[in-house]
Each structure stands twice: as structure tokens, then as C-alpha cells.
Chains A and B, each alone.
Chain A
Amino acid sequence: MRNNRNAVIILILSPFFILMSMIASIMYGAKTIDFQTAWQAIVHYDFGNVDHVIIATGRIPRAIAAAVVGASLAAAGAIMQGVTRNYLASPSIMGVNDGSVFMITLAIVFMPHLTNSELIILSMIGSAFGAGLVYGFGSLFKDGLSPVRLAIIGTVIGTFLSSTATAVAMYFQVSQNITAWYSTKIQTVDPPMLYLSLPILGGGLLLAIAVSKAVTIASLGEETAIGLGQKTKWIKVISMLSVVCLTGVSVALVGKIGFVGLVVPHISRFLTGSDYRVIVPCAAFLGAAFLTLCDCLSRMVNFPFETPVGVVTSLIGVPFFLYLIRTKGGNRNAL
């Protein structure tokens, strides 16, 4: 009962919170623009007014991107944690982000004139590749899918992919471009790219919510799920598809942002209990609020310069990660 009340509170309050953060994100930055002007830019857009141009082409797409990507990464993390029953599962630890970055680096180097949609597709293929590699090795090894093993395999394969990407980038002498590309992409969100990715991310989120009931059953354990008549293989395939949509497009849109998919689902589960039908939407809302806020923070930390938002999320996420390790250790079912 109490948990449901928490869920209702989250679902009612967080849209307001997201809206507030987005307004803050639109108003503050290297140049502070007051609310009146921002509003004018939306209702009476004036091409000649510099402030209006900043709002329409820079700030609003960025705020929307932060919110949507936050929601996507958090939902993807929640689904991964449920399906693998692994409290450390998340896009950044399981090699999904690195796979996508690897693919994008290759794409930038070898095919510099890619269209946005091709970039998105490549990024999705990359994240599927990274995840497939990590899970493949995980299931090859004895006990390979336990939290610790999978985290180690994920980190090592992530290192492998990113060092290969680094080698390629250095070979073609574009390393700073690429580092800048995937750690500061959110500051220069490309509006056409954003419009292109919104439907895919929306589809991924819907898929995640649709599969969430089955994930709740899957999180009870493989045997129980089969006993309850669930087609576990299909559930895994569908949830994987949703994770690949969500994270692949996120990386193509804003670059590599870690720890959102690890931290937010835990908070959501802590607040709302163990039913993924509630956890997934709550995680999405909390994730949107979290990333929008981090994006605002990333402009304040080193004002007037911007800090990569991934650095801000890591600085919040790493202590949380350490806390999880400290309290849950190497236990397998520590959800």
C-alpha cells in the first residue's frame, strides 16, 4: 500500500519537477535569459532576436534531449536489472554504451558523411554488439552471469572496445574531436536528430512498459518464470530490443553518459517496491528529472565553461556504486 502511494506521489510530482528543471535549463547558461523572453521565443518567435535564436535552437532541444535520454537510460537500466536479476546491470557497465561509441567512432572515421538516421542505426547496432559480446562471454563462463562476473566482463570488454576505438581515432588523428563528440554532445544537440530519435525512444519506452509485467515475473527467477508459463526466451529478446533502442539512440543523440541507468532504477525500486510495472515508469520519470538537473549542474560547476554531463553523473554515480558494493557485496540475488 505504502509503495503504491509512493509511486503515485512520484508520478504526480515528477512532471512538475521535470518542468521546473527544464525551465531552469532553458533560462540559465553562459547567458542568462529571463523567463519573459523565453516565453516570447516560444509564442512569438523572432528570427532577428539573438536570445530567441539561442532559446529555439540551443536551449530547448537540449532540455528536451536531457529529459528524454534520462528517461530512456533509466528505463533501460531498470529492464536490464530485472531481466538479468543483477543489481549492477546497467548500460554503462554492461558494455552497451561502449559498443555504441565504438561503432560511432568507426563511422566518423571511415564514413564522415553519414546522415543522422544512418548514425542512429549504426549506434543501435553497436550497442547490440556490445551487449551481445558481454552476455555471450557471460553465459560461456561458469557462473558468468553473477553480478560480479558480469560487471568484470562488461568492464573488460568495454575497455577493449574503447581502446580499439582510441587506436583508430589516434591513427586518423581525430582523437580530441571524438572525445569531444561523445562527452559534450548534449551541448550541441542537433534539432533534426532530436526529432528523428524521439519516436524511436518513445517506441522503446512503450516497449519497456509493455514488457514490464513479464519482467516482474522474470525477476522471480528462471525456474519460477517457466513454471508460471512464461516464454522466457521471448521476454529476453523483447527486453533486449527495447534496451538496444533506448541506449543506442541515446548515445547517438547525446554521447556517452554513465551511471544514470545504474543509480535511478535503484532509487525507483527502493521507493516503489518490486513490481516492474511501477518501477519502469517511475524510473523513467526520475531519470528525466535526474539528467535534466545534472545537465543544469554541468553548466554551474565551472561557470561560464561547460563540464561534460557524463562527468557530473559519474561524480554522483560512483559514490552510489561504491555504496551498493559496500552494502550488497558479491551476493547474487541482492535485489
Chain B
Amino acid sequence: MLYNQFIRFVLMITLFLFLTLVVFYLHVTNGVFDIPVKDAFKVILGMSSDDQQKLVMYQFRLPRIAVAALAGIGLAIAGTVVQGVTRNGLADPSILGINAGAGTSIVLFMFLFQFANKPFQLEQVSSILVMPLFGFVGGLFAAILIWMFSVKKGVLDMQRLILSGIAISSGFGALTLYISLKMNGHDYETAAAWLVGSIHQANWQYATGMLPWIIILGGIIMAKAHLLDYFQLEEASVIGIGIASTKEKTILLLCAIGIVSACVSVSGGIGFIGLLSPHISRRLVGLKHQYILPMSAVVGMFLLITADFVAKSVFQPIELPAGVVVSIIGIPYFLYLLSKTK
């Protein structure tokens, strides 16, 4: 049985990695500027001398795919953790208002430092590193607020959790609107594009800025993956087994918030990846979180790269934000899940 599960896991993850490779191939070769397959390989392997192709590949397509992949991985892992800890299949960082909190503080950051206007310089590199921290504070603040309002007499009430999430999201949404209308036109366009989850402005700095968050926090979460299995039991049993439940849950949630903030600071308002991927992977590999987590990460990466590819190709040459594509796919799925739950 266990052995079968492992084989299934390996099979599925290979399948999805392969699918990701297919989308990667489509994403790299198609676009406003088509690059033939042979040339694409040459450029990637560093054997091409065509400067135009090099520019398109290294400055536009690859960083964009890298950011999509990283954000997909991060959001999917965070979604799995949030669903696991709250034992609620409908929980998702974006529904719980964590994205909105991080978003508000990042828009505030953009407003205060107005870096979109400045040419590329050292300051910008440091601001890319600082932005996730800013987002983390906002996301944490939102999470604490939601927690405060949904815990009554020491018990976490799921319906309250979702409702307070909705309330907090709209509160932060109002604040974001207030701040963004105070910006000048150019900054506003940047902020608006960012808010709806558009990643076509991605560059290597963004990608490298996200990497440490995902590697370190993702590593901590993976190391604690087995705990998520125990958390599916009743609270009393979890404590009975000898797990410091509250402490471990807090650590896991903090890691998830950290990852979400790093993703949000780069990719903006992309919701529903954290909802979809854990569900899909649970269907594929069963209930063990040691399998679900990596599976979910791969599924998230696949979904976001695909969404980004769709976003850039449907209305060529004008691009849609990837976040919009994800919510147009994600919301019907969410409604479907809602219809299944009792």
C-alpha cells in the first residue's frame, strides 16, 4: 500500500513536470516574437549569436517564466499549509485576506518610495529585497486581525474565519484604493497592473528576490510536513500525541504568510492558486502531506505558467494579467467545491 502510494507519487510528479516542460516550451517559443525551436535551444544553451533572440529570451521570456514558476510554487505551498492547519478545504491565502494585507503595505511602500519612476539603480535592488519584508508585516497584521476576530473562547470558528477574511479584505481593499489614488499617474499604472497580478514586467532581480524566501521557508514547511497529517485529527488527539499544537501551527502559518508575502510583492494579486493546487494534488497522491506538499508545488507551478501563457497569448499583442486568468478559471472551481461541501 505504502509502496503503491510512493510509486503513484513519483509517477504523478513526473507527469506534471513533463507537462510543465511542455508549457515552458510553448511559452518560450511563442509570443509576439516567434523563436523557432532550434534557435530557442541554441539560445538557452548559449550557442547562439543572434542578439535579438538573446534579448527576448534572457530579458523577457525566461525571467517571466521564472517568476511565474516561483510564485506558483510559493502560493501552492502556502495554500496547502493554510488548508492543512485550518482543516478547511476552502481556505486560501487570498480568501483569508492575507494577500490584501500584504498588498496594502506594498502599495504603501510603492507610494512612499515611488521607485517605479526611477531608472535602474542600486536603490532599486535593495527595494526589491525590502518589499517582501514590508509585505510580510502587512500580511502578518491581516492574519492577526482575522485570528482575533474568529477565535471565540479559544475555539477557532471556520465560518467566522472566512467571514472575517472577507471583511478584512474589503477593509484593506479600501485602504489600497485610498493610497493608489494618491499616486501619480505613472506609479498608478504600475500599481494597478501589479494589483491584478500581472507578471509581464518581471525581471531577474524579482526572481532572485523571491528565491531565498521560498527555499528557506519552504524547507521549514517540508521538514514539518508530517505534522500537517496529525493536524487533521481532533485538537484533543493532537495534543494527546504530544505535539505542541499551538506552537507548531503558529510556526507553519508564519512560514506560509512569509511565502505569500514574498510572492505577492512580486506577482501581486494572484488568488486561487493556493486553493486549486492542494485540491488537485490531494486527488492525485492521497492524504499524506509529505507527498501533497511537493505535488502541490509542482501543480501550482504548472498552473501559473499555463495561466501566464494563456494571459499573454489570447489577446496578442495586448497582455492580460495572469491573476485575472487564474480567477476566471479558479472561481468556477471554487463554486464547484462549495457545492460539494456539506
**Are A and B physically bound partners?**
yes
Chain A residues in the interface with B (C-beta under 8 A): 88, 93, 137, 140-142, 144, 148-149, 151-153, 155-157, 159-160, 163-164, 166-167, 170-171, 175-176, 179-180, 183-184, 258, 302, 305, 307-308, 310-311, 314-315, 318, 321-322, 325-326, 329-330
Known A142-B339, A153-B335, A326-B160; contact A311-B177, beta-carbon cutoff 8 A: yes
Could you tell me the distance between the alpha carbons of A140 and B338 in the complex, rounded to whole angstroms? 11
Known A156-B331, A159-B331; contact A325-B174, beta-carbon cutoff 8 A: no
Contacts beyond the supplied A167-B321, A310-B174: 8 A-B pairs with Cβ under 8 Å:
A141-B339, A152-B166, A160-B331, A170-B192, A171-B315, A175-B189, A176-B188, A321-B170
Q: List 21 A-B contacts (CB under 8 A).
A: A140-B339, A141-B338, A141-B339, A142-B342, A148-B162, A152-B162, A152-B338, A155-B169, A164-B324, A166-B196, A170-B192, A170-B198, A176-B192, A179-B177, A179-B180, A308-B178, A311-B174, A314-B173, A325-B167, A326-B152, A329-B160
A313 to B, closest residue via Cβ = B174
> Do A330 and B339 touch across chains, with their CB atoms under 8 A apart?
no
Partner of A170, one of B164, B180, B196: B196
CB neighbours of B323 from chain A (8 A): 163
Known A170-B320, A314-B174; contact A159-B327, beta-carbon cutoff 8 A: yes
List B residues 144-174 near A (Cβ within 8 Å). 149-150, 152, 157, 159-160, 162-164, 166-171, 173-174
> Do B167 and A176 touch across chains, with their CB atoms under 8 A apart?
no
CB neighbours of B178 from chain A (8 A): 307-308, 311
What 3 pairs across the A-B complex have the smallest Cβ distances?
A330-B159, A314-B174, A318-B171
CB neighbours of A183 from chain B (8 A): 177, 181
CB neighbours of A148 from chain B (8 A): 159, 162-163
CB neighbours of B174 from chain A (8 A): 258, 310-311, 314-315, 318
Interface residue? B185 (CB, 8 A)? yes
A142 to B, closest residue via Cβ = B342
Interface residue? B318 (CB, 8 A)? yes
Interface residue? B328 (CB, 8 A)? yes
> Do A166 and B324 touch across chains, with their CB atoms under 8 A apart?
yes
Partner of A318, one of B90, B168, B182, B342: B168
- Interface of chain B, helix or strand or loop or mixed? helix
CB neighbours of A311 from chain B (8 A): 174-175, 177-178
Partner of B338, one of A149, A159, A180, A184: A149
> Do A170 and B160 touch across chains, with their CB atoms under 8 A apart?
no
Chain B residues in the interface with A (C-beta under 8 A): 90, 149-150, 152, 157, 159-160, 162-164, 166-171, 173-175, 177-178, 180-182, 185, 188-189, 192-193, 196, 198, 271, 315, 318, 320-321, 323-324, 327-328, 331, 334-335, 338-339, 342
Known A166-B196, A183-B177, A314-B170; contact A160-B328, beta-carbon cutoff 8 A: yes
Could you tell me the distance between the alpha carbons of A148 and B173 in the complex, rounded to whole angstroms? 20
CB neighbours of A153 from chain B (8 A): 335, 338
Could you tell me the distance between the alpha carbons of A329 and B182 in the complex, rounded to whole angstroms? 36
CB neighbours of B189 from chain A (8 A): 175-176
Could you tell me the distance between the alpha carbons of A153 and B318 in the complex, rounded to whole angstroms? 31
CB distance from B140 to the nearest CB of A (A): 18
CB neighbours of B164 from chain A (8 A): 322, 325
> Do A330 and B328 touch across chains, with their CB atoms under 8 A apart?
no
A152 to B, closest residue via Cβ = B162
Could you tell me the distance between the alpha carbons of A179 and B279 in the complex, rounded to whole angstroms? 34
CB distance from A257 to the nearest CB of B (A): 11
CB neighbours of B339 from chain A (8 A): 140-142, 144
CB distance from A166 to the nearest CB of B (A): 5
> Do B324 and A308 touch across chains, with their CB atoms under 8 A apart?
no
CB neighbours of B163 from chain A (8 A): 88, 148, 151, 325, 330
B161 to A, closest residue via Cβ = A325
> Do B170 and A258 touch across chains, with their CB atoms under 8 A apart?
yes
Partner of B192, one of A156, A175, A321: A175
Specify which of B167, B271, B323, B339 lies most central, judged by the most chain A CB atoms within 10 Å of its CB: B167
> Do A330 and B167 touch across chains, with their CB atoms under 8 A apart?
no
> Do A151 and B320 touch across chains, with their CB atoms under 8 A apart?
no
A307 to B, closest residue via Cβ = B178
Specify which of B178, B328, B334 lies most central, judged by the most chain A CB atoms within 10 Å of its CB: B178
Could you tell me the distance between the alpha carbons of A170 and B320 in the complex, rounded to whole angstroms? 8
CB neighbours of A179 from chain B (8 A): 177, 180-181, 192
Could you tell me the distance between the alpha carbons of A326 and B148 in the complex, rounded to whole angstroms? 10
> Do B177 and A310 touch across chains, with their CB atoms under 8 A apart?
yes
CB distance from A12 to the nearest CB of B (A): 34
> Do A308 and B181 touch across chains, with their CB atoms under 8 A apart?
yes
B338 to A, closest residue via Cβ = A141
CB distance from B205 to the nearest CB of A (A): 24
CB distance from A255 to the nearest CB of B (A): 12
Could you tell me the distance between the alpha carbons of A175 and B189 in the complex, rounded to whole angstroms? 8
A169 to B, closest residue via Cβ = B192
CB distance from A213 to the nearest CB of B (A): 31
CB distance from B104 to the nearest CB of A (A): 12
> Do B196 and A325 touch across chains, with their CB atoms under 8 A apart?
no
Could you tell me the distance between the alpha carbons of A166 and B180 in the complex, rounded to whole angstroms? 15
> Do A329 and B159 touch across chains, with their CB atoms under 8 A apart?
yes
Known A151-B166, A152-B338, A307-B178; contact A164-B328, beta-carbon cutoff 8 A: yes
Could you tell me the distance between the alpha carbons of A188 and B26 in the complex, rounded to whole angstroms? 48
CB distance from B111 to the nearest CB of A (A): 13
Could you tell me the distance between the alpha carbons of A183 and B173 in the complex, rounded to whole angstroms? 12
Could you tell me the distance between the alpha carbons of A202 and B194 in the complex, rounded to whole angstroms? 41
